[in-house]
Structure 1
Amino acid sequence: MVLLAAAVMTKNGRAIISRQFVEMTRSRIEGLLAAFPKLMNTGKQHTFVETESVRYVYQPLEKMYMLLITTKNSNILEDLETLRLFSRLIPEYCKVLDENDVQEHAFELIFAFDEVVALGYRESVNLAQIRTFTEMDSHEEKVFKAVRKTQEDEARAAMKRKAKELTQQRRDQTRSRGYGSSAGSYSSSKMDMGSTTIIAPEPTKPKTAPTRSTGRAMKLGGKSKDTDSFVDKLRSEGEIVTSGAKKKSAEAAKTSVPAALKESVHVSVEERLSVTADRDGGLEQMQLQGRCNVHVSDEKFSSIVVVLQKDEENGCQIQTNPSVDKKAFMDKGVLGFKNAKPIPTKQDVGLLRWRLQTTDEALMPLSINCWPNENGAGSCDVNIEYELQVDGLELADVRVSIPLPSGVGAPNVAEAAGEYKHDSRKNILEWILPVIDDSSKTGAMEFSIQGCSDDFFPINVSFHSTKTIYTDMKVTGVDRVEGGQVKYSMESTLLVDKYEII
């Protein structure tokens, strides 16, 4: 199915919120929404109505309608299933099904809609997954916040102790000055009693011995006994706890690549991969979404075009930014705004995006083959191997997470390429491979543990790369609109959203 838009409307036909999933003008979507009430037949009950170009699929929600606008060639059964999921989202975020409550939770609903549909196509998600994705609840984040709060409380207590010490020190200095002044007045009066007036020298202020602090100096971010005991307790439960800076750097290493040196014109190409494969080697679904962005930091380089070398044979669905001159892109392979309009500066501007969906397992960048063999004694021997299937590709920080049966202890690893780590709290054996490239195309790990074949699935894989693999666009240069080349920097990234063997 191709879903054009989703909207929540009142019974009299006014749109409360609307979300478009494909490129269309504002007048176009407003016209489609305005036409819906006129097509409604109040005498009969239906779930959809069609025009010459689109199909309206709707469901009443008390005083409102949940409305989907799709193409006419979409599958009506899939449309109705998607409509039911959208209809369940409204009461999930709105306690009262009325116009005011929907408006108050408009942004949450739009974020939830985006989790259901991407580029017009339904994602394989359920209501619980959508709630998790939108809330982004993270146990590691809770641990980090708890540690940081403990450190902040420690810093406040240290500040109060230091303030008391400074106040006491000022009081001691004030008392010392007052005693010296009274002693000087007494000496002057005694000297004036003789015939000769002798002016007594001004008394020297006694040096006040520095007050030694009995408390510790203020130490922002320092660890306390409470922090240490809290962290030790977490570690005893099997949780891996790191400091804030280390945690952030570790997370960044898993999900991104090092930032490239940027010129005044910086072109970035990013692809995000989602793969679901079965344990027998077949590919159930692979979806790739890519973007080409340009960032101009200097206004004198805003009138430019990005030159591409295209290969039309890979089957990607391509969409250009509505502001891009599509004819110039199709004819010459250049990305630039219509009528030589300058590109906005100091922001990432999307010029092109593409999408690939396939079930051809030969297109998977990395195949994972897991063979559990039950030996008849309640134990299982597991052989797992990987194979890099794309020549010239380099995958970094590859992590293969294999679930293990609970309550049977650590696995006995006979051999393993790279490294491995057993997480007893999460019951996971993590196979860690820093780099997979042409020099290490294959590798294997073998271990044994109590359990059966189904205990070791689903297997999850994560990695990143500085090379994109499926886009048919290669950036060959950046030119000024009026002629002449421009120095630019280039960054390519391949990231994994989901890579699962079930």
Structure 2
Amino acid sequence: MVVLAVSITTRKGKPLLSRQFRDITKDRVMELLSNFQTLVANSSKQHTFVEDEHVRYVYKPFDDYYIILITNLHSNIIQDMDTLNIFVQTVDSTLKGLSEEDVFDSAFDILNSFDEIITMGYKENLSLTQIKTFLAMESHEERIQEIIERNKEFEAAEERKRRAKEISRKEQARKLGIPDTQEFTGIHGGVMNKAYDSYYSHASSAAQQSHMHTQSNQGIQQQNLAPQQQQQQQYANREPLGGKGLQVNGPRRGVERPIKNVERQSLSVQTATLPEEEKPINNGILISVKETINAEISRDGAIMGSELKGVLELRVNNPDLAHAKLCLGTDVNVKDKTYQFKTHPNVDKAGFLTNKTIGLRDPNKPFPSNDQSLGVLRWRKVKGADEHDLIPLEISTWLSPSSETDNAIDVTFEYEVNSDYEGTIDELRFLIPVFTDTVFIKDDLNEANAIVEAIDESQGIIIKVDPIESGQSSVFSVTVQAAYEDALFPIEVALKNSNAKPLSNLNIASVVSAADDTELPFDTVSTLKSEQYVVV
């Protein structure tokens, strides 16, 4: 079979669309469609095809239209009917409506579907689903290319962020007076050396010998200077890097001494925030109760959540005291599910739950006597919003634009030690996550004797205040340069108490021998420190 053209006309004979698959002019198609209208009007037979002297018209009514297949007279009419059905199904699935405007709006898609069905006048063996798939033009290669383009855009965005950070770092270093020698010596020096080498490579032999002689002299001078530079570096390394960092004396003077070395700032901060803990003296048996507190507090002082974690550690340095058993106080409720007590696998759990004792499963075995800490008991307790049981320090903040410094914010800290907490907070620091040298404590509101201890590029501003006892409150105000209030949060609070009564109320009543229950001498220390105590 050979399909010459396929057309869509109205019932009154108005041509709407036509696609020719053979070399036929538009005028010839219009003439054939005009003849079709005459043949259909004069035909009295109930057929779906009509013929004239040259072509056959296989047609099918479609609402107010005709879909017409124009073939030669020798074409297989059975195959033509099958092809016509495919055309009708395709048009029906493509059109959004049945008006002439809808036909014209979908003309491009309809003609594309016709081209998929007929190639050079011959029908392709395709189903409607395959035709829709071809028209969708899904391409695996195109998807891969899109993924590659997205990856390139992501990498470009990351590169922009990296360069922005580098520019910001250089700008901050410039403000602090830190010379950036890497750019001059590393980049321009290398370029100049290459330029000299390129120039003298084309020069005369005498000039080349002179250039080589100059370079050899420079190399000898650098070798002679190397020992002296190493000695200077050794003396520089001996210089102490500690200190208090920035000091504050008044609201209008700002920072007295801006820090000039970022590396020195970081070392100063580490000394201030993470002091090395001294190992307690062990007289035989030392029991350490270590608790860490996590809390999230809103800016207005509301408790959003808290968590207490603790561990009981045992240190024995005398083998004669290693066969020991720890007896907890009578007021310790080991069956309290809220504390989630968990013993070491080698500890007798039944004895812990029944007799409130901590001893080994095998009473004939001793505890290690190497003077190393061994965790024998852990516990954890979680509290929800507006529950103050685990909160040793309640904090609220007040923020307002500074009236004395441009682009700065006054932050007032008001805090109080919970009256239910028995102990003194020995070390207390506030970490504001802003890296700026425009920061000072306001003298007219500084009950806590706050000082700016250090400024670190990674952690921000570290403010240290005086120790505070149970039931006491204090307040101080600091002015910080910041573009907006949210840049000052979250503020981390670092607190520590080296001789605190445990929040869990865990205590050791006595230590006895596992063999004959005779009492053994022991010492107890307890500490409380914050891990993630933040104001958000």
TM-score normalised according to structure 2 size: 0.45
Larger of the two Rg values belongs to structure: 2
